[in-house]
Amino acid sequence: MANDATEFKDLLLAYVRQETLDPLKALGRFLLWGAVGALLLSLGAFLVALGIVRAVQTEAGVHLSGDLSWVPYVGGLIFALFVVVLAATRITKVPR
């Protein structure tokens, strides 16, 4: 009888581990890589937007100085908004 109880306890623990802990570990790895990917994509998009601002500032030279010095930032903002809209449409996309 004691042997059966021990076997049942071991079987129950193995089942709980298999059905709860292992999927949670896999989910944790999935979320970790997703967070790392989101962070790197965000950093890349920020650097590209900054590059657009600097490129417009450099190439425009004196034409966009003084009262028009805000124009390069609009280019960076437009790119950032494009990235946000693109991400939002991909997040809400319904699979076929």
- C-alpha span between 5 and 7 (Å, rounded): 5
In a domain? residue 10: yes
CB neighbourhood size of 87 (10 A): 14
Which residue, 58, 56, 95, 62, is CA-closest to 79? Answer: 56
Number of structural domains the chain divides into: 1
In a domain? residue 79: yes
Instruction: State the pTM of this model.
Output: 0.68
- Please give the residue range of the domain that contains residue 37: 2-91
- C-alpha span between 57 and 78 (Å, rounded): 15
pLDDT of residue 65: 82
pLDDT of residue 54: 94
CA 29 remoteness from chain centre: 14
Q: What is the pLDDT of residues 4-59, one digit of tens each?
A: 888 888 888 888 888 888 888 888 888 999 999 999 999 999 999 999 999 999 99
In a domain? residue 63: yes
pLDDT value at 91 more than 90: no
* Under 8 Å between Cβ of 65 and 73: no
pLDDT of residue 5: 85
In a domain? residue 96: no
Indicate the pLDDT class of residue 74, thresholds 50, 70 and 90.
Answer: very high
pLDDT of residue 45: 93
The backbone torsions φ and ψ at residue 12, rounded to the nearest 5 degrees and listed phi first, read -65, -45
